[in-house]
Amino acid sequence: MAVTIFSPAKLNLSLAVTGRRADGFHDLVSVVAPVAFGDELTAELAEQFALTCDVAGLPVDGTNLILRAAEAFARATGWSGAAKFHLTKRNPVGAGLGGGSSNAVAALRALNMLSGERASATELTAIATGLGSDCALFLHDAPVIIRGRGEIVERLPESAAARLRGRRVLIFKPTFGVSTPWAYGRMVARGGDYVSPVLAEAQLAAWLRSEAPAEELLGNNMEPAVFAKYIALPVLLDGLRRDFGVAARMSGSGSACFALLSAEQNAAALRTRIAESWGETAHIIETRLA
């Protein structure tokens, strides 16, 4: 018996990091949307947990979140079975697109199917939350608001989700990645990049009450800390906004960025500009918000 699970990438359409917590994590308020692009995880029953991947060099040992998720599922449910996984990797590593967290949730879903649905939705959420701050959001398959360190997840109201769902988006990533711990460390060192939680909630509430398009939701206060070192990011984003009139931002801690496209917009010229700026090896993906 084998199952195959789609493991989507995600975009932080808005991200407000509001401060550092006593436990070392950061509090945030963010609207996150999965996209119709990502990895694929196949799992089939086996004598022990194992992982292979079609991308050379990706860790396939116990440090990989897929195997950590599998062990956590077995512990939480008492399931004595096991599975071997194969990951077809499309989501670029070090992009801030949630690839590892999405893979972990795909593993949980696959094991729940293989085990005869041993875990309830509530139990899956608890397991996912224990694996990482942004894992639980991938259980929703819809735009969500995340708070706390990312473990508090609320589905976006349908009226607001409808303004996002199906929107064309161009995702692009340079050859380099950005370490998330480094980016948060830079925010701590700089000190002045945080947003008041009151202001963050007020801005989000205003967008939810309105009928404004997705373009008016976008924002990311991690950008100044990251852009100060990785100047190629703001140079390209500023050029795309100026010359093509698109709403463009960095997703999460980067290095992936994105631009919202109108229904009729031809993305060819944007692709050309990105390749000219970041080189032909830059990842460029056109997809839609899910």
| Catalytic, out of 10, 27, 39, 173 | 10
- For residues 153 and 78, what is the distance between their CA atoms, to the nearest angstrom? 26
End-to-end CA distance of the chain: 29
Please state whether beta strands 168-173 and 257-261 pair in parallel, antiparallel, or not at all (unpaired). antiparallel
Catalytic residue check, 141: no
- For residues 98 and 91, what is the distance between their CA atoms, to the nearest angstrom? 9
The CB-side HSE value for 156 (13 A sphere, CA atoms) comes to 30
Residue 18 CB neighbour total at 10 angstroms: 19
**CA distances from residue 107 to 58, 95, 137 in whole angstroms, order as listed:** 16, 21, 14
Backbone angles phi, psi at 171, to 5 degrees: -105, 135
- Tokens 């949307």 — which residue? 33
Tokens of 26: 């950061």
Q: Where are the beta strands (DSSP E) in the chain?
A: 2-20, 26-46, 50-53, 82-88, 144-147, 152-155, 168-173, 219-220, 247-250, 257-261, 283-288
Catalytic residue check, 10: yes
Q: Where are the beta strands (DSSP E) in 47-93?
A: 50-53, 82-88
| Catalytic, out of 84, 134, 193, 238 | 134
Catalytic residues: 10, 134
